[in-house]
Structure 1
Amino acid sequence: MIKIAGIKREKIFSPNHVINDDLIFSKTVECLNQLDVSVEIYEEDDVEKINERLIFSMARDKKTINQLLKTEGEDKIIINSPIAVWNCLRVNMVGLLTKNNIPFPLTVAGEIDYLKSISFEQIDNRKVWIKRGDVHAIHREDVIPVFSDEEKNNILDEFKRREIDTAILQKHIEGKVVKFYAVYGTDFFETYFSDRTNNIDFDKDKLKHYAAESAEAVGLDIYGGDAIISPNGDITIIDINDWPSFAPVRDEASIHIASFIYNKLKESTQLQN
């Protein structure tokens, strides 16, 4: 049995999804075991102990990602690449998605003091989203809608007090939020509306295309995200995430994730031979 490494996500980076993140990890391990692949499980604090050549990782801590960047440079294969995880931070993601012509809301990213110099009306005249830029959202207060310049600056000041250095200002897009889950380069692609309804028609193939382009832009293999479906069916990507919980589709997703990892393992073994 071939052995690979799996890194669990630290609980602080699983807001409201600790159990779901643990379950998709353990389900993936089970599916890999069925493919005759053994998984040595590591916590984020233990990455320096990893000896296995192929690593699948749900890690998000900055220190862990920095260590994995060094590890990846030592001829290790890491899924998702730590570079892709960095790219998913909103302050980095904005430029990558817009540069690749992916439908994305008007967004300004930068340091807090710079964003205070951007007026509310430069983004929208009704509603603007302020989103933490330095890490994925950890608290509810990391993603907040505001309706005036005064509110915007108050929230940015609060970010600064919380020692958050970067954020984004994003135009509000009217419509319903649809969540998507996928494994790059496979047919697996699932969606559901966040309010659990399904009463807006939209082109699922087009969303799959935009999601795959977004994943390619940031470098992800195992990914999910959010899009807005407008009343007329227009699609706007608003977020792309490394290795989400896949909670509504966990059983099916874990099979596809394990298969993807297994195929990467076979490719790496063939290259070594």
Structure 2
Amino acid sequence: MNVLGISRSPRFSPNSVDRDMAIFTAVASRMQRGGNDVSIISEDLFIAVDLSEFDLVFSMARGRDVLTALAEAEQQLNLRVVNSAHGLLQANRAQLVTTLKDTAVPQPKLQILNIESSEEHSLQELSEELILTYPLWLKRGDACAQRPGDVCFVSNQSELHQALISYAANGVHAVIAEEHVPGDLVKFYGVEGSDFFFITYPTETNNFSKFGLEQHNGKPLHTPFDANMLKSAADRAAKSIGCIVYGGDAIISADGKFVVIDFNDWPSFSACRKEAAKAIANRLKNLD
């Protein structure tokens, strides 16, 4: 099978370039050892690639130009792309809120704030429209976090206003406001359509953190919860998007219930890279 692997651009890997490349390389290696003819390219160099030469593409790309080209190949050439480029184009953070709701994935209380103007009075009015309870989290709604400030923790209206000024200055027009939920923070990693599902407690294990924001949830209490239910919820969301290779974050409350606070396409799997690479390669060889 002729396979193309597309690695992620450094601009979409804040503080994670080596980690993202490590899982990409591990999957490519396993695909090669499985007897496939594997070509690899960075999304930054993805120019005039003849996709008709390939039977399968596994891609960590996040740039809209590359995703658009891959989505066209999915439609016109019936090319299998993992993760689905068409799905990712339809799943920015703001749209993901709706997807999680439609697939019955528990989420915190949230509100989407649309920045229509960068003028001071407009941003002040927007901050006054908030109906959620502080403290809360703000996340850019158009894309994954790429720089400090794309995700931030705010405790009052003044901090919210300053954050909105920063978002507006960086050209972000939609911001997701999400109530902070106390409890155990867990990171989960999965491969939809397989048994692979890995959970870790980042504030306990001192795992790598892109921006150091996990500290707001403190040390975990290891409240018992149903990990199978979390996997089932995450798999539903992944299948809906076409995001076979995924990761995310959830909060386990004192009553054992969970809410999903983040969901990402193809994370670095740094806490479980070897097991994840095996699961991903096996899934690529056994697509539906």
* 1:170 Cα deviation after fit: 0.8
Aligned to 2:216: none
Aligned to 1:246: 269
Aligned 8 A contact 1:104 1:237 in 2: yes
**What's the CA shift string for 1:192-237, capped at 9, x where partnerless?**
0111266332211111112112212322111111100112211101
Q: What is the Cα deviation at residue 120 of structure 1? A: 6.5
Looking at structure 2, the residues matched to 162 and 233 of structure 1 have their Cα atoms a distance apart, in angstroms, of 38
Amino acid at match of 1:210: A
**Among residues 160, 179, 187, which one is paired with 2:187 in the alignment?**
179
Q: Describe the shift of the 1:47–1:181 C-alpha distance in structure 2 as closer, same or farther (beyond 3 A).
A: farther
Q: Are positions 1:232 and 2:255 aligned together?
A: yes
Change (3 A) 1:47 1:236: farther
Amino acid in the other structure paired with 2:279: H
Structure 1: any 5+ residue segments left out of the alignment? 268-273
Q: 1:118 to 1:106 in 2, by over 3 A?
A: farther
1:13 alignment partner in structure 2: 12
Which residue pairs with 2:60 in the alignment?
A: 58
Structure 1 residue 110, shift from structure 2 partner: 4.7
8 Å contact from structure 1 (residues 120, 128) kept in 2: no
**2:132 paired with 1:123:** yes
Range with bigger deviation, 131-140 or 196-205: 196-205
- Per-residue Cα deviation, 1:221-261 (whole angstroms, up to 9, x for no partner): 11111100112211101111111101111001101101111
Aligned alpha-carbon RMSD (Å): 1.9
Residues 94, 176 of structure 2: 8 Å contact kept = yes
Q: Which amino acid aligns with 2:276?
A: A
Q: Which residue of 1 aligns with 2:210?
A: none
User: Which residues in structure 2 correspond to 1:166-205 (within 5 Å)?
Assistant: 166-196=174-204, 199-205=222-228
1:91 paired to 2:94: yes
Counterpart residue type for residue 126 of structure 2: S
The answer to whether structure 1 residue 159 and structure 2 residue 162 are counterparts is no
Aligned letter for 1:60? R
Change (3 A) 1:175 1:41: same
Alignment correspondent of 1:142: 150
Q: In 1, are the aligned partners of 2:185 and 2:252 still within 8 Å (CA)?
A: yes
- Aligned pairs (5 A) from 1:209-228: 209-228=232-251
Give percent identity, aligned residues only: 32
Aligned length: 263
Separation of aligned partners in 1, 2:143 and 2:11: 11
C-alpha change, 1:257 and 1:146, in structure 2 (3 Å) is: same
Residue aligned with 2:189, SS: strand
Which 4+ runs in 1 deviate beyond 6 A?
none
Which whole-Å CA distance do the structure 1 matches of 2:38 and 2:4 have between them?
5
Tell me the CA shift for residue 22 of structure 1: 0.3
- In the TM superposition, residue 107 of structure 1 has moved relative to its aligned partner by 1.6
Moved more, 208-217 or 14-23: 208-217
Task: Establish whether residue 100 from structure 1 lines up as the match of residue 99 from structure 2.
Answer: no
Normalising by structure 2, what TM-score?
0.86
Q: Give the match's secondary structure for 1:73.
A: helix
Task: State the distance in 2 between where 1:121 and 1:175 align.
Answer: 23
Is residue 127–residue 161 contact of structure 2 (8 Å, CA) maintained in 1?
no
Matched, 1:26 2:25: yes
Q: 2:108 corresponds to which letter in structure 1?
A: P
Structure 2 residue ranges without an equivalent (≥5): 118-122, 206-219
- Given that residues 68 and 89 in structure 2 are in contact (C-alpha distance below 8 angstroms), is that contact kept between their aligned partners in structure 1? no
Asked if 2 retains the 8 angstrom alpha-carbon contact of 1:177 and 1:227, the reply is yes
Q: Deviations over 1:21-61 (max 9, x none)?
A: 00100000111111101211122131531431311110001
